[in-house]
Structure 1
Amino acid sequence: MEQPAGRPRATAFVPGHITGFFSAHPAPEPARAGSRGAGVALSDGVTVTVTPGSGTWLNGEAVDIAPVDTVVDRLGVAASVDAETPLPIGAGFGVSGAAALGTALAANAAFDCGKTENELVEVAHCAEVEAGTGLGDVVAQARGGLPIRLDPGGPRHGSLDGLPARPRVEYVTFGELSTETVLSGDTDRLSAAGENALDRLLAEPSVGEFMLACREFAADAELLTGDVNGAVAAVEAAGGQAAMAMLGRTVFATGTGLSDAGYDPSVCRVDAAGGRLVDSEN
């Protein structure tokens, strides 16, 4: 959406994020709630521009994104939020978390809110947790790379590590899966599978072991659907490694696994920088 010249504005970019496995850790205080697990920050992400006004747009369409509304409210600003992304919506790419974090970063710059990076990450993380749309995307998107979430929560409580690798990433999407529905149900089996997957990765921290842990997690947590399972099996038959994105009917692979299996995937790289301000006029 085009904005009039001469108004304060700022733009942030936040990478998309695929969670490969996780365990849920709810808490009464949203800043302490979150997840443990690991994932991939993508060079395909969400670009968010904030100007004075009201309303939220995603790819040119007026939308309601609860975490974005909460971020704007917590920062105490009257903001128009314009988000653009090539990523599929509701398919396990952390778009709502990216929009929330991008809004926090850009609004802080446009309106001189005077917050630190960690404060902005925490505002966005809490907004995402409260909305039930994610538990760990925001902190992972703020870090970038291949983040490993060791302790749940926002920056004041959580802790992260990562894999020092930057592989090519391919993905195909077969449709949406409601994160809110999954997280609001019984997560005991899922969390147990996530803890096992994390132990496996920390024992051998490599991209190959990460992909194996992701594949094992999806099977143990009983989240695989027919089309997703078929794509993962096809990649493995072609000699590659693939897994399911959490939470969405999306299959991702490192290297050329999906291409080799006959799919026509979207292709991107790992984004090492994490969420960041890219432009500001104030």
Structure 2
Amino acid sequence: MLIRSFIPAHITAFFVPIIREDPQMSGSLGAGVNLSKGTNVFINIEEGLERHIHVAFNGEPMSRKEATITYHVAEKLIQRDFKGEVEIWQYFDFPTGYGFGNSAGGALGTALALAYIFKKTLLEASKIAHEAEVIYRGGLGDVVAQLTGGIDLRIREGGPGVAIVDNILANEYKVFTIMMGKLETKRVLDSEVVERIRKVGRIALENLLRNPTPETLMKEARKFAVETGLMEGELLEIAKEVDKIIRLPSSMIMLGKCIFALIRDDEVEKVKELARDLNVSYDIVDIYWGKPKIGRWIPEE
């Protein structure tokens, strides 16, 4: 049986990390955008005499140490008495560590595909994905955002069934991204900058909830990125160049050394030309409206 799931990539515009003893009560407040590209997970199972789990990222086999979150999810969802081979293949449209929610995409995609196979509910599976993300510091709010889709507003923290996530309903935008490097989520979440992030992030969310529009989202995202000190140097200089040719402010992807902007159709060629002039890696994708996809997969001939 071969099962495929698709989880949208998720960009966080700003956030307020809230970590408690119970992972399901931990999470983040904030806002972000789900993308039409993301993570595809393929799971194949075959019954046998012994239980084995194999994980691969973009075709490369991963050890338990390298894929701790995925193995955690798998062990929780595969029936205890199951014996056989479980192959988990995760393919990412965006590079890992750049702030596109790959960790959560892999965790949630694996959880939903295994839930489909072993007859668990979506809520049960997604709670396990969120738990793994929190315990191993993969992220805090990506799972609940990816379950919701669109331009998300995380207005109460927690895992699936606890968090409250709303949407800004605006479908006239595409998402332009410039990818320059990695930031390690765990390192930021464990650093002294967290208190500053919490303070500035709460102000940003309050302002956005008073006027929940794409314009306010990008304005508050930029203020958050600069005032927390996360966006500086070359990243800030490139963002200023982007701002000269689009209507809304650009900002930094949390957490990656990357820039994102909401653009309209008539701005697409302008940003492409700028990216080529700057000689930077970029992409332009649609906003993903909807739920994760899951079902049996039959390879094309």
Per the normalisation by structure 2, the TM-score is 0.86
Helix, strand or coil for the counterpart of 2:3?
strand
Tell me by how many angstroms 1:260 deviates: 6.4
- C-alpha spacing 1:48/1:156, structure 2 compared with 1 (3 Å): same
Q: Which has the larger radius of gyration?
A: 2
What corresponds to 1:86 in structure 2?
Answer: 93
Aligned to 1:71: 73
Question: In the alignment, which residue of structure 2 is the partner of 1:253?
Answer: 261
Of residues 156, 160, 170 in structure 1, which corresponds to 2:161?
Answer: 156
Asked if structure 1 preserves the Cα contact closer than 8 Å seen for 2:14 and 2:221, the reply is: yes
Following the alignment from structure 2 to structure 1, what is the Cα–Cα distance between the partners of residues 18 and 285?
30
Comparing 23-32 and 250-259, the one that deviates more: 250-259
1:274 maps to 2:273: no
Give the superposition deviation at 1:185: 1.6
Q: Does 1:183 align with 2:183?
A: no
Instruction: Tell me, in whole angstroms, the C-alpha distance in 1 between the residues paired with 2:239 and 2:273.
Output: 9
Whole-angstrom distance in 2 between the partners of 1:58 and 1:129: 20
Deviation at 1:261, TM superposition (A): 6.9
Aligned alpha-carbon RMSD (Å): 1.6
Structure 2 residue aligned with 1:5: none
Determine if contact 2:73/2:128 at 8 Å carries over to the other structure.
yes
Instruction: Please list, as runs of the form range in 1=range in 2, the aligned pairs for 1:103-114 lying within 5 A after superposition.
Output: 103-110=110-117, 112=118, 114=119
Structure 2 letter corresponding to 1:250? C
* Residues 238 and 260 in structure 1, CA contact (< 8 A), matched pair in contact too: no
- 1:39 match: secondary structure: strand
What percent identity do the matched residue pairs reach? Answer: 32
Partner secondary structure for residue 199 of structure 2: helix
Structure 1 counterpart of 2:206: 199
Q: Is the 8 A contact 1:197 1:214 kept in 2?
A: yes
In structure 1, distance between residues paired with 2:97 and 2:127: 22
Aligned pairs for 1:210-249 within 5 A: 210-240=217-247, 241-249=249-257
- Partner of 1:140, secondary structure, is helix
Provide Cα deviations, 1:213-255, integer angstroms capped at 9, x if missing partner: 1001001111013221112111122244211000000101111
Q: What amino acid sits opposite 2:176 in the alignment?
A: E
Equivalent in 42, 49, 53 of residue 35 of structure 2: 42
Contact 2:77 2:125 in 1 (8 A): no
Structure 1: runs of 5 or more not aligned? 1-7
Aligned positions of 1:139-154 closer than 5 A: 139-154=144-159
Aligned mates of 1:133, 1:50 — CA distance in 2: 21
After TM superposition, the score normalised by the length of structure 1 is 0.92
Q: Which of 132, 135, 138 is 1:133 aligned to?
A: 138
Greater CA deviation, 38-47 or 62-71?
Answer: 62-71
Moved over 3 A (4+): none
Please say if residues 116 and 295 of structure 2, whose CA atoms lie closer than 8 Å, have aligned partners that are also in contact. Answer: no
* Stretch moving more, 32-41 or 155-164: 155-164
Q: Secondary structure at the match of 1:263?
A: helix
Return the letter of the residue paired with 1:90: G
Separation of aligned partners in 2, 1:98 and 1:260: 27
1:31 aligned counterpart, secondary structure:
helix
The residue type paired with residue 154 of structure 1 is: G
2:175 counterpart of 1:172: no
- Contact 1:174–1:227 at 8 Å: present in 2 too? no
Residue number in structure 2 paired with 1:59: 58
Query: Which amino acid in 1 is paired with 2:73?
Result: V
Q: Gaps spanning 5+ residues in structure 2: where?
A: 46-51, 80-84, 277-281
Q: 2:58 is matched by which residue type in structure 1? A: N
In 1, the alpha carbon distance for the partners of 2:86 and 2:72 equals 12
> After the TM superposition, which of the residue ranges 250-259 and 121-130 deviates more from structure 2?
250-259
Opposite residue 137 of structure 1, the aligned amino acid is D
User: Is contact 1:91-1:175 (8 Å) kept?
Assistant: yes
